[in-house]
Structures are given as structure tokens and as C-alpha cells.
Structure 1
Amino acid sequence: MIESWVIDDGDTVPVPPGAVPKALRARVGRGLFETWLTSSSGRSVTFVTNTERAMVVLLDGEGDPGGHAVDPGAEGSSEGFVLSNGQHDKYPAQDTVAIDEAFRIVEHIVSTGSWPEDAHWAVDR
């Protein structure tokens, strides 16, 4: 079975992998800085951005701590991550990636179901 993904905003139409970056950019442009994508197999991807960097998390199911994209060379911290509940978060820069890299990672996950081989990520399990 091929895994399909939907943006978890009430829509039931799967998002084609090539449309993921455009859909995420459009949501950010509308002030929606947190996006969840849910797969037909119950997995999910979380994308949270401050418009420069993004936290990308892949979860195998509800309750799974999953894994997240990392930037081992990044220093300092990044602020301005606004969650849908209004919470403002700050993350170590190494726990986020540049926004264009985040778009690429999410598109790859939606396309293949796994992390890109050349992306760094940390297992949170």
C-alpha cells in the first residue's frame, strides 16, 4: 500500500509530494506557523517555523516521541516559533533546520515515507 498524506486541517484530500513546499509556504504566508501532516498509516509530520528556521518531527503514531531534523553545525537558539495554541517556543538552533531544508525534508518524507539520506536527524525515542 502506498502511504498518502493530508494536511491535518480538516481536509481529506491527499497532498501530492511536489505540492508540499507550496502548501507549507502558503500556510506560513497566512500566519499558520504550525502544520501537521497525517498519513494513511497513522504516522504524522510536524512542521513549525519562525519563517527562517523550522522544527520538523516525524512520528510513527500517537504517543511516539519520534525523531526530529537537526543542524549539527548551528549555534545559539532560535525564537519565534508560534504554535497553533498561541504558545511561543524557543529552540536550540541545532534542533531546527533552515526553512528551505525543512520544506525539502517534509516533501521527501511525504514522497518516500522516510528521512532523506543526506539529512541529519535525532531519534527522540
Structure 2
Amino acid sequence: MSKMPKEQLYYVAAHSGAALLATLGLAYWFGAPDFWQGFIVGMLVVIVLVLFRQKFRDDYARSLWSAGTALAFFATIAVTFWAEAFPTLSHRLEEAGFSWQPTPTWIGIIALAAFFIGFHVEMWRSRA
């Protein structure tokens, strides 16, 4: 069996991370046991470490990494700003039946989702 090329490992990790993130969202939504949620989070950490280790392999990979991190940073700042700057909006949403406060867990999930969205959008844009 031959070894997987490093470029291919990078893309497999990126696609696996996006799939695992969707799985984690479904696990939270349907109330999966904590063990499975923790297992998925652990796999996501390993995938992010693989991506981080390989991030500057070439200019194309660097552009994908930059797009993902920029969107993740923006999403984290936006969610945190929304939670802190608009408490009256949050109160009005609670009155309307929508009650959600961004906890550190959800901010992390949103940041990872934004990273993978930015990564894949840049990948699809650059291949077109």
C-alpha cells in the first residue's frame, strides 16, 4: 500500500473536518451521549492539527488556510460582539420564543464552521 501524498492528506483532512463538524452539529441537535460528542470534538482537534501542520506547504494551501482563518476570526468577533453589544436584542428574541446565548462551546463550533466554509469556498472559487 502506498503512502498518501501530503497534498492529498491535506484535502482529505479538510473534507473530513467539514463532515465531522456537521456530525457534531447533528449530535448536539439530537442530544447524542456526551461520549460521542467528545469523541467527535477530539477527532476535530486532530484534523485541525493536521491542517495546521501542513498549512504552508505551497501558495495554494496557504490561500485556503488564510481564507478559512479570516472567516473564522470574523465569525468569532461577530458572535461575541452580538452577544455583548446587543443584550436588548437578545431579550427581545427571548420574548419572541427564540432563546440562545452564545456559550464558549457554540462560539467554538461557529468558528470551526466558519473556518471550513471559508476553506471550501476558497477551494471551489480557485478551481473554477
TM-score, normalized by the shorter chain, greater than 0.5: no
TM-score by length of 2: 0.31
| TM-score scaled by length of structure 1 | 0.31
The structure with the greater share of residues assigned to helix is: 2
Higher strand share: 1
**Higher RCO, Cα 8 Å, sep 6+:** 2
